Amino acid sequence: MENKSVLQNTIANQITLEGVGLHTGKNVVLTFKPAPANTGYVFKRTDLKGQPTVEADVQYVNDTQRGTNLIKNNVKIHTSEHVLSALVGLEIDNCLIELSAPEPPIMDGSSKFFVEAILSAGKIELSELRDEYIVKEVIHYRDEESGSEMTLIPWDNYQVTTMVDFGTKVLGTQNATLEHLNDYVDQIASSRTFSFLHELEMLLENGLIQGGDLNNAIVYVDKPLSDETMDNLKRAFNKTKITVQPNGILDNLSLHYPNEAARHKLLDVIGDLALVGKRIRGKVIARKPGHKVNVDFARKLSKIIKQEKRLNAPIIDINQPPLMNVNDIMKMLPHRPPFLLVDKVFELSETHVIGLKNVTMNEQFFVGHFPGAPVMPGVLQVEAMAQVGGVLVLNTVPDPENYLTFFMKIDNVKFKNPVYPGDTLIFKLELITPIRRGICHMKGYTFANGKITTEGELMAQIVRKDSI
């Protein structure tokens, strides 16, 4: 599968919408704002003290009964899915979503108005590459209680198919497919949310959908409509007349598509899977999707992505000239052979470093460890990781030759696989916290033959030589 490098983007200008939250009934002002690279989607509650934020992350989902609701430090965001779906559908990578109330406006029950606002705001490229999750094998999830299933298979782009069956004559079985995000605006965005009459009655009885009316949800009449029910609906929606159309839809709404329900479920799937936090390159097949199964699958996928990130060795071309060779490294690090345990550095940024060591039979530590069955001591693997991390922290000063690097702490070290003569070690270290006062707190991994040999958390400090 082709590895495409695409720059991240954000909206070019801020744009504001106003409306009413479906379930809360509260007036709300929503403002889309540009955001820096690697921000992702972040909600901000402007109506609360300190204007706290909630990242669009599956770990913050606390309820999926009537939408996908987030909570972080008691800050709530209701029904996030339509807004997130619009952002993904328009391939926006980073955006700040400000809300003056807990819930985005329902508008017409689709993502159409959010899409129009984002399109009018425009799009600009950022300098960082898009972090995309490329599906390499089939990932499947099934909810045994409901029979709902989610399957993700390798594909050349992000594609979604939904299959819905509610077991009712009025709605029946429907399918919908989005073959490319380029088609989202024309094929999916205007698909409105829907409900069955029996669900609507329950919601009204429990004081929900306080911001609803008959213009922002399709209501399928799946039971006889009594005079009492008719009167309750008239009062709830402030209507003098309510009718049932021949196609079984309440009041005077006309369907945008014969399979609008399946298309809206597809819209929801895209919004809920946005909580994974990465652009997906693969095909989603959703059978009987709903917010619960969507989020459960997003949790599973998020876990898999984190595991793969941790377990997969960095992809580097060892035949290409490195960023730093051994002579460059010795200009920065105080270590010298035979205790210099890093040969090359291939990547170096403010937050991560990737280095390499070729382990040969000539290493002095093999003389006694162990005769006849040589393996590299684990403690030296940790030392090698620390030296690569030293490059990361020394890169923050203009004169690294005047500094020494000292270990402060080693935590959670695990040895996974032995290292033998002839192995090529790849080191990957990433900051856990920003570097402050010359102190570097890192998570490090050592790989050989595509497998982790060592991992651990390292803390080091650089000190000027003339201060010792």
What amino acid positions are annotated as catalytic residues? 291, 369
CA dist., res. 219 & res. 207, Å (int): 17
Residue 324 DSSP code: B
What is the rounded end-to-end Cα distance, in angstroms, of the chain? 54
Q: Whole-angstrom Cα distance, residue 460 to residue 468?
A: 16
CA-to-CA dists, residue 140 to 64, 287, 293, 455, angstroms = 20, 11, 11, 29
Report the DSSP pairing between strands 41-45 and 95-99: parallel
- What backbone phi and psi angles, to 5 degrees, belong to 336? -135, 155
Cβ distance 126 to 37 under 8 Å? yes
Q: Where are the beta strands (DSSP E) in 416-450?
A: 424-431, 439-448
Q: Say how far apart CA 83 and CA 405 lie, in whole Å.
A: 48
CB 265 within 8 A of CB 171: no
- DSSP string for residues in 139-204: EEEE-TTT--EEEEE--SS-EEEEEEE-S-TTT-EEEEEE--GGGHHHHTTTPPPEEEHHHHHHHH
